[in-house]
Structure 1
Amino acid sequence: MRVLVSGGAGYIGSHTVLKLIASGHDVVVVDDFSNSKPTVVGRLESLSGTHVPVHSFDLTDVDKTERLFAHEQIDAVVHFAGLKAVGESVTKPIEYYRNNIDSTLSLLAAMQRHGVHRLVFSSSATVYGENAPVPYSEDYEHLSSSSPYGQTKVMIERIMTDVAAASDGLRVALLRYFNPVGAHPSGQIGEDPQGIPNNLMPFIAQVAVGRREKLTVFGDDYPTADGTCERDYLHVEDLAAGHVAALEHLDDMVTPVRAFNLGTGTGTSVLAMLKAFERAVGRELPYEVGPRRAGDLAAFWADPSRANDELGWRAVKTIDDMCADTWRWQSANPQGFPDA
């Protein structure tokens, strides 16, 4: 298939581009580079050995989105593009709702006009909200989220479901994934957050490479094995493979719209992740325990059995794999991707 990857220069998008190419698909990328750098593209071409066409614009621009579909042959879309910082979304809700929802509406309208009927959406486990039983199951229906970012995912899932119900032939896979970490084994592409990292793994990596003084662990009195929060960490390479599996399963789905959890089904604590990263680096890393962060849940993880059974997909990489690959990327690129 010829696949349009929106946000294809971003962290998860770039790894998925490589997996799609390796699986025999042609890829076209659209990215406005608001949260990624154009230098990613050269590395994707080097690693894949092929040219990656890139259209640089914001999908909220309806006219440019229409022209893209008018001039490119597109068989399917994998939709990553959107603002994604949970904390920032709380302070800039209008910007998040406008960007994430308007870009999706623009994309869906262009797909409809040009007869593109296959869509894989980058959703999130945040749609389960604070009250869902653990492990999270796709059958849980009371979707909600405590952040505007998460609410945009809930709303977009609803929009896509409604559009599919009103369309003839649209097939949508909603991929609800947990905590992506790791990097490509080459060390050439990885997570490159702008500013202070919001997530645990890139923060630890920046401490290890000397960009941050120490890690702050937000609370050690949770009802978990070591008192720190537990999350379902998933290697980005496994996650990218999940997108390819979902894309190739679209035509065989039991319903036009189907949600799939992508996770390991196992929780890993903050301190366990820190210790695994220390093994990868070969030394202890400085940290301190601070107060709990508002809104943090003690522990959650996926029930990935639907993706295992229906997509033939499962996470295979370990926490040590995740840390070793992250360290290979961060140590080779201490300041992230170059600007030019």
Structure 2
Amino acid sequence: MKILVTGGLGFIGSHTVVELQNEGFEVVVIDDLSNSSLQVLDGITAITGVRPYFEKLDLKIKNDVKAFFKNHNDLAGVIHFAASKAVGESVNEPLMYYENNINTLVYVLQEMANLDKQNFIFSSSCTVYGQADELPITENAPVKPAESPYGNTKQIGEEIIKDTCKVQEKLNCIALRYFNPIGAHPSAEIGELPIGVPQNLVPFITQTAIGIREQLSVFGGDYPTPDGTCIRDYIHVVDLAKAHVVALQRLLSGKNDSNFEFFNLGTGKGSSVLEAIQSFEKVSGKKLNYKIADRREGDVISAYADTNKANEVLGWKTELTLDDAMASAWKWEKKIRNK
């Protein structure tokens, strides 16, 4: 079966392509390379022995999206990752985020209406919950006003999909609400490769440890948490990638209960930023140069998942630990710096 992965050379996308190919799917990747690299294709090929079909495509160009789907009208499913994803950047560049994350989703869904098989997995986020009233966060938690334009694009994206599912009965969708993906493939052939200054914690940790960044800033040391730093649910990217394959297989086999479902993807355990740093120091044997800085706009205090629905209904659960993720991220960092 032929599966399209948009943003398939990005961090989560590339790991999902690997897991899809491991399960025997034929994968077509599109990516505009704005936050990824063609070398990722070599990494995917090295791991799986199969080079996926790749096309450089900017999903913001509607006619190009139309032409692509005309040429690939035999797709059995689409996994949609292509989006900008940094909370802080979205606060400073809201219009870029709305154009890149909303318009592209609309164009893809419009073209999917012409396919015989309309199975769609949406890369959503726990940011849809804002600062939740209760922890851990279940799928029944209310969707709150977003803390950032990025979070808002994920909320709007889910609303667009839900509204489309009501009128497009052939369309079957699952939105996967990720918590905080980290780590790299154990082979160190693919991993997180931010362009410019990292917007996420773990690449900043590894780049500081290897000497590219002078110091790591921990945003906020005065939160109402045990050590004063934000708490997040850090999930290994390989576990996360496998969940996309499980969700896709659920749709392909018609096991979904409705044509729009959503699941939390996390470990079910919250770790503070300082605990994440301690985990890295333990597995790497390196002391990190970090300082406590001011809070960052758009950050919630604490977020970790209730994973029961994903465990029981989807039949998926995480297998890898925070230490596993930090060790793989460090192995990847050393490899790409040839150290």
TM class by shorter chain equals over 0.9
Give the whole-Å Cα distance in 2 for the aligned partners of 1:171 and 1:141: 23
The answer to whether the Cα contact below 8 Å between 2:41 and 2:51 also exists between their aligned partners in 1 is no
Give the whole-Å Cα distance in 1 for the aligned partners of 2:112 and 2:222: 49
- Which residue in the other structure is 2:70 paired with? 70
The answer to whether the Cα contact below 8 Å between 1:70 and 1:114 also exists between their aligned partners in 2 is no
- Which residue in the other structure is 2:137 paired with? 136
CA distances 1:273-296 after superposition (whole Å, capped 9, x unpaired) = 111111221121111222333343
The answer to whether the Cα contact below 8 Å between 2:218 and 2:293 also exists between their aligned partners in 1 is yes
The yes-or-no answer on 1:90 pairing with 2:78 is no
CA distances 1:66-87 after superposition (whole Å, capped 9, x unpaired) = 2222222211000000111212
The answer to whether the Cα contact below 8 Å between 2:189 and 2:332 also exists between their aligned partners in 1 is yes
Q: What is the SS of the residue equivalent to 2:174?
A: strand
Report the TM-score, using the length of structure 2 for normalisation.
Answer: 0.95
Query: CA distance change for structure 1 residues 219 and 90 in 2, over 3 Å: closer, same or farther?
Result: closer
Q: What is the SS of the residue equivalent to 1:234?
A: strand
- Which residue in the other structure is 1:333 paired with? 336
- Which residue in the other structure is 1:46 paired with? 46
Shift of 1:231: 0.5
In structure 1, the gaps of 5 or more residues are none
The answer to whether the Cα contact below 8 Å between 2:181 and 2:240 also exists between their aligned partners in 1 is yes
Query: CA distance change for structure 1 residues 255 and 88 in 2, over 3 Å: closer, same or farther?
Result: same
Q: What is the SS of the residue equivalent to 2:91?
A: helix
Shift of 1:304: 1.0
The yes-or-no answer on 1:257 pairing with 2:260 is yes
Q: What is the SS of the residue equivalent to 1:113?
A: coil
Give the whole-Å Cα distance in 2 for the aligned partners of 1:95 and 1:292: 24
CA distances 1:194-218 after superposition (whole Å, capped 9, x unpaired) = 1111111111000111101121222
Q: What is the SS of the residue equivalent to 2:18?
A: helix
Q: What is the SS of the residue equivalent to 1:252?
A: coil
Q: How does 1:219-230 map to 2 (within 5 A)?
A: 219-230=220-231
Query: CA distance change for structure 1 residues 335 and 35 in 2, over 3 Å: closer, same or farther?
Result: farther
Shift of 1:230: 1.1
Q: How does 1:14-163 map to 2 (within 5 A)?
A: 14-72=14-72, 73-163=74-164
Shift of 1:335: 8.5
In structure 2, the gaps of 5 or more residues are none
Give the whole-Å Cα distance in 1 for the aligned partners of 2:44 and 2:143: 39
The answer to whether the Cα contact below 8 Å between 2:209 and 2:286 also exists between their aligned partners in 1 is no
Give the whole-Å Cα distance in 2 for the aligned partners of 1:161 and 1:335: 46
Of 297-306 and 176-185, the range deviating more from structure 2: 297-306
Q: How does 1:172-191 map to 2 (within 5 A)?
A: 172-191=173-192
Q: What is the SS of the residue equivalent to 2:46?
A: helix
Shift of 1:181: 0.2
The answer to whether the Cα contact below 8 Å between 1:76 and 1:117 also exists between their aligned partners in 2 is yes
CA RMSD of aligned residues (A): 1.5
The answer to whether the Cα contact below 8 Å between 2:224 and 2:301 also exists between their aligned partners in 1 is yes
User: How many aligned residue pairs are there?
Assistant: 336
- Which residue in the other structure is 2:212 paired with? 211
Paired amino acid for 2:14: S
Give the whole-Å Cα distance in 2 for the aligned partners of 1:61 and 1:295: 29
Give the whole-Å Cα distance in 2 for the aligned partners of 1:116 and 1:41: 27
Paired amino acid for 2:277: L
The answer to whether the Cα contact below 8 Å between 2:169 and 2:259 also exists between their aligned partners in 1 is no
Q: What is the SS of the residue equivalent to 1:55?
A: strand
CA distances 1:157-180 after superposition (whole Å, capped 9, x unpaired) = 001011111012211000000000
Query: CA distance change for structure 1 residues 159 and 132 in 2, over 3 Å: closer, same or farther?
Result: farther
Give the whole-Å Cα distance in 1 for the aligned partners of 2:105 and 2:211: 38
Shift of 1:244: 0.6
Give the whole-Å Cα distance in 2 for the aligned partners of 1:233 and 1:226: 17
CA distances 1:28-47 after superposition (whole Å, capped 9, x unpaired) = 00111111111111221121
Identity of aligned residues (%): 45
Shift of 1:12: 0.3
Shift of 1:99: 1.6
Shift of 1:132: 4.0
Q: How does 1:279-294 map to 2 (within 5 A)?
A: 279-294=282-297
